[in-house]
Structure 1
């Protein structure tokens, strides 16, 4: 896993690593809700009395339904008990008559209850015990316990189920755990993950168990591991990363120097200050990148070389393969903004079609700015470019000449600013696209033809195939004719470049003023800059061609596939041959 090498504070999130289980979806909750809903119960009269103490026979169906709804308008048992109590008049027993001779069978009731119900016309009707139970569809033990509690305490019975109440103590413990987790620093992943948007990563040497142990040592509070773990997964969107790779050499050098036990306190302090300054410079690049505003911001980079044929067999690791190149151009909308598929443009070519150099990069960018982004650029005043500092591909006079000519010929109102990151801190939005593509490619164990790669790339952005939608131009030769060879600056030292006229603005740091330099030869004009098309160049050597054909034979590739590679690896490009294979 790779990171942007920028520590961030851990923050509480509304969507944790795991979703909280909703209690209303549990079977236990549904059973309880059904128990106190009264949906399957039918109100009825259970007696034939017609006297002053029970007039239940005067109730009709409409009255029975109305009386039942008074109780079951809520599913809360405590509220239902209070409603039942309002229809009862409980008092202690005043007289006991011996109706049963055997003493062991005698009932010693302490409560005497009178019952009455409220009809639809708001009149009270006295009823007997049996009809009261059948009308409200309740059991006698529930009614007796309600009346007995009221006589003893003078109020309706509250909810006492669930054991001891420790909510306040648990809340305090949870707050302490959250503060402890927030005391750590996390980092964003170099590659955005589709299945876990917004997830941040703690150091690889940590785990939930270690964090829980640190909490116990620091706070001396008895908090169970299960409680700590539940807060970690439900309140935070965190995971633990793998040791970072492809990291900044300066960062590694400073970390090793700071941990040197032979350093004095003053030397260690100086190292820490230099390390902090280095990281601030790197952070300034990302702050500038995300400060989009009303500018047209573009990030571009070349993806790690893909190979053909791709297979999981062991011979593949020891065999040379044909390279499949992907150049990504992504429009960046700012921090946290989603990467739309329509704003991701992928330019592809193969090793037997052309080389990977500044001409191919300048040609792909020229196609993007003159066709894909033409409408948007005509409405903008500022174009910002972000890429790494690779001199052979991006950071050279050939790409700059293309940008000078582009502004002069198509966008004279455009102010172009080109930013380069600190070495080792060049993790751009384009790299996140490449990360998602690599995740998709890992799902395919065998890839034999370029079209299979193109089909995968189409899921992530718009694909432009070399020779079909775009071609290569000789910007290197044209730049040599138009630019001076004796220059008063070094492009390698530039951190920011600016193109707003015929002169090139250069800054060796992100802050400060631009120094203006002339790059155009005397008598030349950028509107005359027109590079010639470059012929296709097969860069596959004979030894690699032999290895590829041998590998295809060991894979048992179809005959048509083997014939395709035999033709294209021996030709100057093979675009027509690839079309012939599709027709077959």
Structure 2
């Protein structure tokens, strides 16, 4: 390989060395034109648009004038002059600096030009360089050599100096014959903006989504039909879309809010009553604000607990059931399979998740399980310095939002384990939690695995999901589930009137009793033992105080139950499911047969 080719390869590697562009982010400074412009400005070697290497200009040639201007300046000072001109950030600054080193002086002696006076120069010029903060007069050739500029550039500066103008870089400002008219560009932007968008409420950052049935090709086709006179190619339409709009194409929505859908139908009704339409729009705005309060409070809690060791935020929820065994056999689609229940608790401080894994023969999905797992997580993972606990979960009545959960959390403040506990629930249809992001990672791994047979294999797959250390899996047995249902009635009341409505002045129709399903925020405080403050809205101004402790319970320090929820150490399984599992057994390898042989001998229950 020749020296020329070697230099060319090195320069190309240096120019192409840049980080991979993140989607939606333009690295303008790393464009090829910008790299070439910087190299020329700094006097460095670079590869031009044709790939040819342009070397740095040589400054070792003598000026050969009578005064020996170039030779009088030593090598160290020549380098300082070049560094001075290359230190500017743009060409305009360089030109202004060089123009300040030129002086226009009258011509002392003129030569006859055969009577032609049109070509007479009006002025002559003197050139200077700055050495040790003083101007030193040099010849034109020495000036060009010392500052590494071209003679054409100096002539331009001389012309502008005579006209009294400041140099201005006009490179790249010429009109391009292939450029799209400004009106067509604005028409493209207006056309893209005319499509309705949906704003995602599932993420901490706001995302705008176009309809799932659209794509950029369809949008370009619609644009050509609407503006037949605009000759805009698809590539240019896509460029405008990518560079000026941060829009995504959404997937069909699932599990949406029923109230949102009902109000949107009223607003989109083609023959509405204007008054009813305005009322529906106002109700939708209020509904969205109330639903966003849940995500805002969760975001604030995450920020607080990362900066305060005495505060902790947790979210918890059940993942979709996992069916075992997972075998790519078509026949299994019609068989009943063993259900595995993953329950996740996500720590907002560390962004780590702890999962409790068990199958339907070991425990159910009820308040006993939820309270037991939450109690175990607090005992094993929450340090004693944490005195304020914020909980977020969906409003499932059979698992998270029930009398059993309220009394369990109340006992944690009554025993002074925590000073304050706040449990918040979202509006139905607006219940996206941090756990759901964890579940997405787990499902992605499960979808890529075509065969797994026992819960231990599922445990290994969950542990491998996400970054190392993000997931911790606890294999649950029947002994780990405590009987909270039969524990709390001996310490707490089932219902009572609020302290605000107990007085006789409040009419009977306005008296407020303790109904768990009516409230979305519960607050517990160790200063008021046996008392819970409930609100119908997150951060609402109106709250209700209920004293749930039993009048006969004088200790006010209820202990966590020790009685097992399943003393028989198993839960009966559907008899039809056992029959189907026997049929599936022929597809299970021998090393996993023992697990299914035990399940087949499990107690059964008859269902319709």
Is 2:169 the counterpart of 1:159?
A: yes
Is 2:371 the counterpart of 1:362?
A: yes
Is 2:570 the counterpart of 1:537?
A: yes
Give the CA deviation at 1:59: 4.9
Preserved contact between residue 538 and residue 569 of structure 1 (Cα < 8 Å): no
What secondary structure is seen at the aligned counterpart in 1 of 2:485? helix
Return closer, same or farther for 1:230/1:352 CA change in 2, 3 Å cut-off: same
Preserved contact between residue 199 and residue 237 of structure 1 (Cα < 8 Å): no
Is 2:430 the counterpart of 1:425?
A: yes
CA distance in 2, matches of 1:19, 1:360: 46
Gaps (5+ residues) in structure 1? 1-14, 99-107, 333-338, 574-584
CA distance in 2, matches of 1:437, 1:453: 10
Return closer, same or farther for 1:519/1:508 CA change in 2, 3 Å cut-off: farther
| Among candidates 7, 14, 18, match of residue 24 of structure 2 | 18
- List aligned pairs for 1:161-240, cutoff 5 A: 161-164=171-174, 186-190=198-202, 192=203, 198=205, 200-204=207-211, 233=242, 237-240=246-249
Give the CA deviation at 1:328: 2.0
What secondary structure is seen at the aligned counterpart in 2 of 1:159? coil
Partner residue of 1:322?
Answer: 338
What secondary structure is seen at the aligned counterpart in 1 of 2:480? coil
- Superposition RMSD in Å: 5.0
CA distance in 1, matches of 2:384, 2:143: 79
CA distance in 2, matches of 1:484, 1:36: 81
Partner residue of 1:527?
Answer: 558
| Among candidates 466, 482, 491, match of residue 516 of structure 2 | 491
| Among candidates 52, 57, 60, match of residue 41 of structure 1 | 57
Partner residue of 1:300?
Answer: 316
What secondary structure is seen at the aligned counterpart in 2 of 1:370? helix
CA distance in 2, matches of 1:486, 1:30: 74
CA distance in 2, matches of 1:263, 1:70: 73
Give the CA deviation at 1:464: 4.3
Return closer, same or farther for 1:404/1:142 CA change in 2, 3 Å cut-off: closer
- List aligned pairs for 1:232-311, cutoff 5 A: 233=242, 237-261=246-270, 264-272=273-281, 274-276=283-285, 278-286=287-295, 289=298, 292=301, 296-310=312-326
Give the CA deviation at 1:364: 0.7
CA distance in 2, matches of 1:123, 1:400: 85
CA deviation digits over 1:237-279, x for unaligned, max 9? 5423223211122332333344445654444455555555544
Preserved contact between residue 531 and residue 546 of structure 2 (Cα < 8 Å): yes
What secondary structure is seen at the aligned counterpart in 1 of 2:384? helix
Residues paired across the two proteins, number: 519
Partner residue of 2:442?
Answer: 437
Is 2:409 the counterpart of 1:403?
A: yes
What secondary structure is seen at the aligned counterpart in 1 of 2:37? helix
CA distance in 1, matches of 2:426, 2:194: 29
Partner residue of 1:579?
Answer: none
CA distance in 2, matches of 1:396, 1:341: 27
CA distance in 2, matches of 1:96, 1:416: 102
| Among candidates 394, 400, 404, match of residue 394 of structure 1 | 400
Partner residue of 1:4?
Answer: none
| Among candidates 535, 540, 546, match of residue 516 of structure 1 | 546
What secondary structure is seen at the aligned counterpart in 2 of 1:242? coil
Higher RCO structure (Cα 8 Å, ≥6 apart): 1
Give the CA deviation at 1:471: 0.9
What secondary structure is seen at the aligned counterpart in 2 of 1:375? coil
Partner residue of 1:566?
Answer: 596
Give the CA deviation at 1:201: 2.9
CA distance in 2, matches of 1:328, 1:405: 22
CA distance in 2, matches of 1:32, 1:164: 17
Is 2:359 the counterpart of 1:350?
A: yes
CA distance in 2, matches of 1:327, 1:501: 30
Give the CA deviation at 1:455: 3.5
What secondary structure is seen at the aligned counterpart in 2 of 1:527? coil
Is 2:381 the counterpart of 1:372?
A: yes
TM-score by length of 1: 0.70
CA deviation digits over 1:25-76, x for unaligned, max 9? 233333333334335333234465536xx65555554454455555444474
Give the CA deviation at 1:532: 0.9
| Among candidates 340, 351, 369, match of residue 350 of structure 2 | 340
CA deviation digits over 1:78-124, x for unaligned, max 9? 444455553576878943679xxxxxxxxx89698666554847574
